[in-house]
Amino acid sequence: MGENRKALAFSGRIVMVGFGSIGQGTLPLLLRHIDLKPEQIVIVTGDENGRQVAAEYGVAFHDSPLTPANCRALLEPRLARGDFLVNCSNDVSSVALIALCQERGALYIDTCIEPWAGGYTDVSVSPEQRSNYHLRESALALKRPGTPTAILTHGANPGMVSHLVKEALLNVARDTGHPVAVPKDRAGWAQLACDLDIKAIHIAERDFQVAMPRKAPGEFVNTWSVEGFVGEGCQPAELGWGSHERHFPADGRRHAAGCKAAIYLARPGASTEVRTWTPLGGAIHGFLITHGESISLADYFTIGSGERPQYRPTVHYAYHPSDDTVQSVHELAGRNWQLQNAHRLVKDEIVSGMDELGVLLMGHAKGAYWYGSRLSIEQARALCPHNSATSLQVTAPVVAGVIWAMRHPDRGVIEPEEMDYAEIMDFIRPYLGQVVGEYSDWTPLDGRGWLFEEDLDRDDPWQFKNFRVV
């Protein structure tokens, strides 16, 4: 699946739903790696954004916002058996699209499980029903034997990071003298994580990109979808809840049904901060934004079941976005989470910086191990047009997933953890800049305890209460 391999032949149509920064960055990669004519691709999106990019590649562009009322009428004539729906949208129900693809015999992929517009902030439903946990359970309920492959949540994170975790586990095993064959199944991977004593996994990201002009008062600036980030930032904070945890959060809530691998906090993710570490960022505070991988990874690496299994790591996102985005979030919070009147997605305006995105595995014999991608804006632009460092870390995994589904067309609804990590990483590695692994003796207790912080668990630094910023 690598950069120099022959393009994969595909005779069907590709329907792209949504064409913001991720859709625009995905299109040139699809045409590069899959043997397609432009007339085989059609874009259905909610606004005029991206029309010029579609025209550059000769691809049909339809400015037709999808709603529960018109979704089937707009998509059914464009989807037949063997076609592919690539979902890069916001505010369009992933579950509705997957169900439609199953009926039509079409393949499917998305980068996150989305509700219909307003679903993230609908106060008429409970926070639990607005959670990624609930959305995931709804999507997994569509698993049907023999149905076309429908890949859930296969961008950078969720998506690529699940494959990075597996590579990181093998690296830690090698470096700690724990010789092991590559596990063959879910039980084998969970046992490896348990044997290595992995207590916590952060998706630890520091976005160093800088755009000009800088953020103005009353403006939300982001290096990827503004609406997408604000939507997930207003969902409850969610995390996979590890078997080693002994301090349940006062604002923590358990789920009544489902896999029981995760909990949520009774507060928005964008108002919840945690301590984390990346090699270039060092010790940083990140937002505990809800993400699908927090649940799917915790579930995948569970030994046992229920709320108190034999083994499960704590898993969550720890995201330090660009400095202008951090300012935008603080301003958003001051507005009681009402989006600023002006918002700006920056791509061409980015003048410097990189996105450092990886997984931080903690608790093993060497302490902490970060493994991931350092991709600069200059590298991203040289590797593929219409991409920033942030978007290319998403779009390359999207296309890797598209190719994987074309080669494995009958797997039904499937998550990244269930796919062949090596096959996916073979494709995306050339698009990740530097892929780096670095050990650290950092813990969330470093330098703590002298500023009114007595309520720490010093017996186990990897307790969630030590990571949380209060």
Instruction: Report the pLDDT value the prediction gives residue 4, as an integer from 0 to 100.
Output: 44
Q: What is the pLDDT of residues 235-269, one digit of tens each?
A: 999 999 999 999 999 999 999 999 999 999 999 99
Q: Is 330 exposed, middle or buried (0-12, 13-18, 19+ CB in 10 A)?
A: exposed
pLDDT level of residue 451 (50, 70, 90 thresholds): low
Average pLDDT over residues 178-205: 96
Crossing angle of the two packed helices 160-175 and 421-428, in degrees rounded to 10: 110
Tokens 């799917």 belong to which residue? Answer: 296
Q: Are 309 and 316 in contact (CB under 8 A)?
A: no
CB contact at 8 A, 360 and 204 = yes
Find residue 219's DSSP bridge partners.
342
Domains, the chain, in order of start with CATH, read: 8-151 (3.40.50.720), 160-388+423-469 (3.30.360.30)
Q: What is the pLDDT of residues 294-318, one digit of tens each?
A: 999 999 999 998 899 999 999 999 9
Q: Is the pLDDT of residue 2 over 70?
A: no
Separation between Cα atoms, residue 187 and residue 397, nearest integer Å: 25
Q: Which segment of 120-124, 136-140, 367-371, 464-468 scores lowest on mean pLDDT?
A: 120-124
Q: What is the pLDDT of residue 17?
A: 98
Please give the sequence-ordered ranges of beta strands (E in DSSP) within 190-339, or none if there are none: 200-207, 210-211, 219-222, 236-240, 252-254, 262-268, 273-278, 282-287, 314-320
Q: For residue 109, give both structure tokens.
A: 């992929």
Return the C-alpha torsion angle 272, 278, 282, 288, nearest 10: 0
Q: 71-96 pLDDT, tens per residue?
A: 999 999 999 999 999 999 999 999 99
Whether pTM exceeds 0.85: yes
pLDDT above 50 for 234: yes
Checking if the pLDDT of 27 tops 50, the result is: yes
Q: What is the pLDDT of residue 470?
A: 87
447 touches 181 (CB < 8 A) = no
* DSSP code at position 244: T
Q: Is 258 left (phi over 0), alpha (psi -120 to 50) or beta?
A: left
Percent of the chain, pLDDT > 90?
A: 92
CA torsion, points 458, 461, 464, 466, in degrees to nearest 10?
60
Query: How far apart are the C-alpha atoms of 191 and 293, rounded to whole Å?
Result: 19
Strand duo 342-345 + 219-222: pairing: parallel
- Of the CA atoms within 13 Å of residue 204, those in its CB half-sphere come to 28
**d(Cα 101, Cα 432) in Å, to the nearest integer?**
31
